[in-house]
Structure formats: C-alpha cells, structure tokens
Amino acid sequence: MRKLSEEFNALLKHRSVEEFVDLYLFRPIAFIIVKLIGRTPITPNQISLLSITTGIISGFFLAQGTPIGFFYGGLFYGVSHVLDCCDGMIARLKGNGSLIGRIIDGFADYTSATAMFIGLITGLLKADLHFIAHPWVLVIASSISTIIHAMVVDYYKSEFLAHGLDQVNSTLDDRERFSAELNKLREARGNYIFRFMIWVYLGYSHLQLFSNRVRIDYDQATYYRKNKLLLRLWTWIGIATHIFVLVLAAFLYKLEIFFYYTLVGANIWMVVLLIIQTRVNKKIARVNKGG
C-alpha cells in the first residue's frame, strides 16, 4: 500500500494544490486507469481526445432533458474529467509532457465544458423543472462564473507551485515561455494549428494576470506558510468541485443545487478570498521589498 501511495503522489503536481474531490475521488480512479495503460503506447494527447469525446456524449445525454438523460449526462461528464486527470498523470509517468500538450489539455477541458453546457441548456428547456430564473440566464451565468472561478484558482495554484514550492514557472514566466515558443513557430512557418492554440492560451494567461504585470519576488518559506491554507480554501471553488457538484445535481435531477453553488456560494467565496489573498500577498511583497 505504501508503494502505491508513493506512486500515486509521484503522478500529482503536488498534494497541496489538488482539490479535495480530485485527491480522494477523481484522481484515484484515474490512477487505476494509468496503472492499466501505463505500459501501452497510448499518449496523453490521445487521452485528451477521448476526454473530449466523453464530454460531447455527456452533452448529448443532458440534451434529452429526462431524469435518465441527466443521470447518464452527469456520469459521462464525470468520466470526461477522470480522463482529463489521466492525461497529465500519464505525461508525468512517461515524462513526455510538452507545452503543446498543456494547451491541448486545456482545450479538451473547455471543449468538454462547452458541449456539456450546450446539452444542459437544451435539456433544461425540455425538462419539467422550475427555477427562479429562465434556464438560459442560469446556464449562461453559471458557465461564465465557472470559467472565472477556474481561471482564478488555476492562477493561484500556479503561483503557489512557483513561489511556495519552486516547482514550476510563475504565470508571468509561463507567459514569456509560451510567447518565445510562438515566435519560434512563426519563424519556422507552418504549424498554424499549434500557433493558434498558443495564441489563445496567451490570451487566457493575459486575463489570469489581472492587473499584475510586475514581477514580484517572494521568500519561498514565507509564501508557503502564508498561502498554504488560502490555497486549500481556493480549491473549494476549483473546476473539479464544480464538476462534482454538477454530476451530483444531475444524478439527483436537482440542477438547482449546481446553480446555487456556482452563482451564489462560489461567487461569495471568491470575493472574500480575493480580498484576503490580495492583502496577504501585498504584505509579503512589502516585507520582501524592504528586506
């Protein structure tokens, strides 16, 4: 058991940045799949393609608007996320991750989410369910909220890995790396699809950086100590938690659970944490600049 636990942890970015439902539900399932296919020639990008396919199937079932349709729609969306967990774990196992692979992984996430939300709005218009607002309003507002939550949480995860654990580049450094990669592809000509994907990713990272365009250095131990609990709180509105709540709501045929979580609870949580996070990081930055 100890060896399996060590293998599992080795395939994670770091336990500190994992969401609770990922760490104890989605990733353990993904780990079993990775153990089964780890020695096969299957690549992370192929798994990403399969994740997109199951996401589209999820949208198809949700669009039926029936209790059984919502059940299978939720099930396939959960499977899609498990496969999304698999591609990164396979990449770490085989050591064949790449910048383009990271973008394809993100593209798979948003493609699956788009298919799911299209299926969800179609199904809600057919279903005999009643909400406090029109389904169009609820689904559009929920999709925008989910994207914003995912961007903010991903940003602070990356910053924690960079400044608190010194494991990856900061978001600002990452943006510079991808910009350099885009310039190389432009000089070589061709590779238009990859160039477009990097261009989209750079736009995404530009939004993630908010108003912060200045490089700030932090003391690693201080950043880790001050942000460890905050990051754990951030993960409660991460994308995996949204998916878990949606899957649960679909299983129960009570979509209001997802709407209340996404539009009320998660947004209040985000605003409160942003206020606290900004104050904490400003205090750390001020101390470092003065020291």
Q: For residue range 109-138, list pLDDT tens digits in order.
A: 888 999 999 999 999 999 988 898 999 999
Sequence-ordered strand ranges (E) for 39-172: none
How far is 283 from 291, CA to CA, in rounded Å? 12
> In one letter, which amino acid is 280?
V
Task: Give the start-to-end residue ranges of the domains of the chain.
Answer: 2-170+215-290
Name the class of domain 2-170+215-290.
mainly alpha
pLDDT of residue 54: 97
What residues in the chain have per-residue pLDDT under 70?
96-103, 168-215, 286-291
Q: pLDDT tens-digit profile of 187-234?
A: 555 555 545 555 455 555 555 445 455 567 788 999 999 999 999 999
Q: What stretches of the chain show up as alpha helix (H) in DSSP?
A: 2-10, 20-21, 27-37, 44-62, 67-94, 99-126, 135-159, 171-188, 192-208, 220-234, 239-252, 256-259, 266-290
pLDDT, position 291 = 40
Q: Which helix (H) or strand (E) holds 23?
A: none
Residue type, 3: K
Helix (H, G, I), strand (E, B) or coil at 218: coil
